Structure 1
């Protein structure tokens, strides 16, 4: 029941924020085959984009790596603190954090959004489903490769944040970096939130999307830097695929807001990173 409630909330948010436009020419099968082609092409596009990066793109990568390195410095105290307060977190929030970031539930929601758009022949909702599925698949596969390649020890393993066993996929205790739950949940949140202009709606969606990543911290499954990089991967992946889908679909949303900018703010005693999207 909880899964159905969250799904209908997502669809309700969309249908309230966007007008329904019905296609009458193409059959649903033609729409489905076109959309699945868009999914696979979108995934391929996201993996090949680094070959076409220019100055600003490499700068964004540098900011991301620099921010992750700074967060890496506080991984241990943050992990210790959040694991200590685990029992103070309401069980309903802990359950939501675990379930919503899991692959099975993720595709249940994204598939439901897409099939709803297909059933009512709504191109914007179909496109949203395509964006969700393609982004989750692209980022999800990347995080699986990185987990094995990096081989970082999880906090619950008892090892330090500096313990690595790269290219060893046999032991799940060395699958900490990055966080898969954070990636899947934030992918959904960013793909849906970017369709709305209302700051309160966007804030609510991002808040719900952040909980699964945070939940991995108090469970001792990931370090803070694992979660932070996972969320960054989600945002970059969604932005890349979304821009590609502009060439595949006539219906667009918030075209004026399709930008991603990073600003570093320095002041005495503090360093800040501002992301605009």
Structure 2
């Protein structure tokens, strides 16, 4: 039931924004499906190939992400302890949602449902959104699985401290970096946010998408830096695949500049993130 509610909510919101894109298409759904599957696989491959084409600006952005994550990492023990100590003050429904929606199986039920709705209605905009959701989740999800194993960072619940790393340890207690729940949920939120121009709507969607990542910090499964780096992967992946899909579909719902500015703010007793979009 929860899966259905989430799926219907996502599809309904996107459909309202895309309803003027529905066309009387003579193309068969089978041909649409074949084209879309090619777009999914092509998008995943395109996203992995992008670093080989990066230039100065892209490497500078990557360096800023690494530096920002490193700064958050320095305070990971303190922020983890503070957030976990305040866990019981968070409404149970919010915590349950964070755990539920970040789960990979639930995530794919929702994303494939969006695509299926677009295919059934022959709505190219909704189909493209579904392709963006599925391909971005696949690309980012596979990457985080590899990083978790290679980095081998201990989870906060292991009580080994933020500086404990054991690469290729098969125990899930050493799969902290980056956060998979944060990555999948925010990938969806960022892709869905592209359907809307209103900055307040975008902010609401991003906030909802950030809850699963935060909930994993509440539960001691991840540090704050695990979540921050996961968000960065989400944004980079969606932006990359979205550019690729511009070449594959006529419907372009986001002709505006495809970039979000994230600024980390540090000071005595404060840690914050400013987002401009």
TM bucket, shorter chain: over 0.9
- SS of the residue 1:197 aligns to: coil
- Name the counterpart of 1:62: 63
Describe the shift of the 1:179–1:265 C-alpha distance in structure 2 as closer, same or farther (beyond 3 A).
Answer: closer
Which residue does 1:213 correspond to in 2? 213
Q: Distance in 2 between matches of 1:66 and 1:180?
A: 21
Q: Note the C-alpha offset of 1:163.
A: 0.3
CA contact (8 A) 2:68 2:264 kept: no
Q: Which residue of 2 aligns with 1:235?
A: 235
Q: Give the equivalent residue in structure 2 for 1:177.
A: 177
Give the deviation of 1:117 after TM superposition: 0.1
Any conservation in 1 of the 2:216–2:222 contact (CA below 8 Å)?
yes
Give the 3 Å change call, closer, same or farther, for CA 10–264 of structure 1 in structure 2. closer
Instruction: Name the residue aligned to 1:80.
Output: 81
Counterpart of 1:191? 191
CA RMSD of aligned residues (A): 2.0
Structure 1 residues not aligned, in runs of 5+: none
Q: Which residue of 2 aligns with 1:141?
A: 142
Name the structure 1 match of 2:96: 95
Helix, strand or coil at the partner of 2:256: helix
Alpha-carbon separation, structure 1, partners of 2:52 and 2:133: 23
2:202 is paired with a residue whose SS is: helix
What residue number does 2:11 align with?
11
Structure 1 residues 260 and 201, CA gap change in structure 2 (3 angstroms)? closer
CA distance in 1: counterparts of 2:266 and 2:221, whole angstroms: 32
Cα distance in 2, alignment partners of residues 188 and 205 from structure 1: 9
Q: Which residue of 1 aligns with 2:168?
A: 167
**Contact kept in structure 2, 1:83 and 1:220, CA below 8 Å:** yes
1:13-47 CA-to-partner distances (Å, cap 9, x unmatched) read: 11222223225121001000110010000000000
For these two proteins, the number of residue pairs brought into alignment is 276
Whether 1:39 and 2:37 are equivalent positions in the alignment is: no
| TM-score normalised over the length of structure 1 | 0.94
**Alignment CA distance shift 1:84-1:108 (3 Å):** same
Give 3-state SS (helix, strand or coil) of 2:137's partner. helix
